[in-house]
Amino acid sequence: MKKSLIAGIVFATATLGSSAVMAQTTGTPVMVGNSPQVLDLTSGSGFFGDTFGVNNNGATFSDRFTFSVNSTSGMDFDAIISSISRTANTGLDVTGLSLYRATGTDGTGTGTLISSGKSLQSGNIDVWTLSTDNLAVGNYYVLVSGNLVSDASASFGGAVMMSPTAPVPEPETYGMMLAGLGVLGVLARRRKQAANQAA
């Protein structure tokens, strides 16, 4: 009886111990990164990025780069990011690029998705772009996410360009333009008829 009780305790301990080891290796990945960071847009453009040290294989990152739009006219937003490594199995893998409108009084809330980026290339060189039009006054952030695929150090970098949205003419403007062209056509026809009569 004692032997089977001891055997049961040893078996239960071994089972629980192996579950704890499994939890360590298959649990939630470690989050790394320096977030949030303020994106300094000098005259509407700027650079951003992050660097990760060695021994972070399997870790994930989700970096926020915050900025504000203060212009009363809409702003167009264009961004590109990239990361470079020797092979696809070293460095990092960028898995997402998004633009959010920040919520909360301090702009650090979860935010509302405005636009998702597009992957142009993946592997040892990752390239993502993101474009959106007509950003209104408010607080925003660019979210770059991904994971580290080796214990080597890694980094990504990007650039942003913001410019005023080109105004779209109102329907009345098109009507006035067509009326003006019609008047020019009538005047040209009268001038041609007057020239023909004088000849």
* Confidence check: pLDDT of 180 > 60: yes
Find out whether 106 and 125 touch, Cβ atoms under 8 Å: no
Would you place residue 141 in the very low, low, confident or very high pLDDT band (cuts 50, 70, 90)? very high
C-alpha–C-alpha distance, residues 137 and 181, integer Å: 38
Q: Rounded to the nearest 5°, which phi and psi values hold at 174?
A: -65, -40
132: number of Cβ within 10 Å: 16
Q: pTM, whole model, 2 decimals?
A: 0.68
What was the pLDDT predicted at 168?
63
* Confidence check: pLDDT of 107 > 60: no
Task: Collapse the DSSP code of 102 into the 3-class scheme (helix H, G, I; strand E, B; otherwise coil) and give the result.
Answer: coil
C-alpha–C-alpha distance, residues 63 and 142, integer Å: 8
